[in-house]
């Protein structure tokens, strides 16, 4: 399996590059940001896709981009082109946030993803995103409680993340400690 490729960029198009490595020119589909930002010599994290009549390589500058790409294409009826379009418009963090906050309009505004696909992506991936801590019920309940007290999602998460030994604390203690952390 191909994990990474490093070499010289010999051709560049908006969503495609040719990377010359080890005597071979690899055609790699990339998000728009990657084709614009990658220097003449570069390294990409690769996700190969094998189909009946072709093999395509998809390349990313960061592992996080590749991981969100893999999650998006795991959704039934959402293909590589739609996932690449999403990553061409938004960072992996913005995509994850849109999914977590169920912001359908953000995802649906991307070419190749309408309202139905956006809903499907949110439905399929909402529980699969985030750190193990964010999937924890006590963590989620603490965030909800802080939101109801007027904090933003970002502020609530940041305050909770600053607390040490929260695994051993009760929900009420986590909330009290988070309110002290300003």
Query: What CATH number should be reported for the domain holding residue 86?
Result: 1.10.150.20
In the prediction, which pLDDT does 95 show? Answer: 92
Residues 56 and 68 in one domain: no
Interior CA angle at 93 toward 110 and 123, to 5°? 60
Residues 49 and 13 in one domain: yes
What contacts 161, CB < 8 A, 6 or more positions away?
133
Residues 73 and 122 in one domain: yes
What contacts 95, CB < 8 A, 6 or more positions away?
68, 72, 86, 87, 107
Rounded to the nearest 10 degrees, what angle do helices 63-73 and 80-89 cross at?
Answer: 140
**CATH code, domain carrying 35:** 2.40.50.140
Domain range for 24: 4-60
Residues 22 and 54 in one domain: yes
Residues 89 and 34 in one domain: no
Q: Among residues 128, 151, 167, which one ends one of the domains?
A: 128
Min mean pLDDT across 15-24, 44-53, 78-87, 148-157 is at: 148-157
Residues 96 and 150 in one domain: no
Q: Among residues 41, 60, 79, which one ends one of the domains?
A: 60
Q: What is the dihedral of CA 27, 29, 31, 36, to 10 degrees?
A: 20
Does 181 score more than 70 pLDDT? no
Residues 172 and 146 in one domain: yes
What total of structural domains would you count in the chain? 3
The predicted-structure confidence for 47-89, as pLDDT tens digits, reads as follows 999 988 999 999 999 998 999 999 999 999 999 999 999 999 9
Distance of CA 45 to the CA centre of its chain: 14
Question: How far is the C-alpha of 167 from the C-alpha of 144, rounded, in Å?
Answer: 17
**60 and 44 Cβ atoms separated by less than 8 Å:** yes
């Amino acid at each position: 399996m191909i994990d990474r490729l490093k070499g010289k960029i010999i051709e560049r198009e908006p969503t495609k590059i040719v990377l010359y490595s080890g005597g071979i020119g690899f055609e790699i589909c990339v998000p728009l940001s990657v084709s614009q930002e990658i220097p003449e010599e570069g390294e990409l994290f690769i996700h190969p896709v094998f189909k009946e009549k072709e093999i395509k390589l998809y390349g990313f500058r960061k592992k996080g981009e590749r991981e969100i790409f893999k999650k998006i294409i795991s959704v039934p009826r959402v293909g590589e082109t739609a996932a690449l379009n999403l990553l061409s418009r938004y960072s992996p963090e913005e995509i994850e946030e849109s999914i977590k906050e169920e912001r359908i309009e953000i995802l649906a505004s991307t070419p190749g993803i309408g309202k139905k696909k956006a809903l499907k992506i949110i439905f399929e991936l909402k529980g699969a995103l985030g750190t193990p801590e964010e999937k924890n019920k006590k963590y989620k309940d603490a965030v909800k409680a802080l939101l109801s007290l007027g904090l933003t999602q970002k502020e609530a998460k940041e305050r909770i993340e600053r607390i040490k030994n929260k695994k051993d604390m009760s929900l009420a203690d986590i909330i009290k400690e988070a309110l002290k952390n300003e």
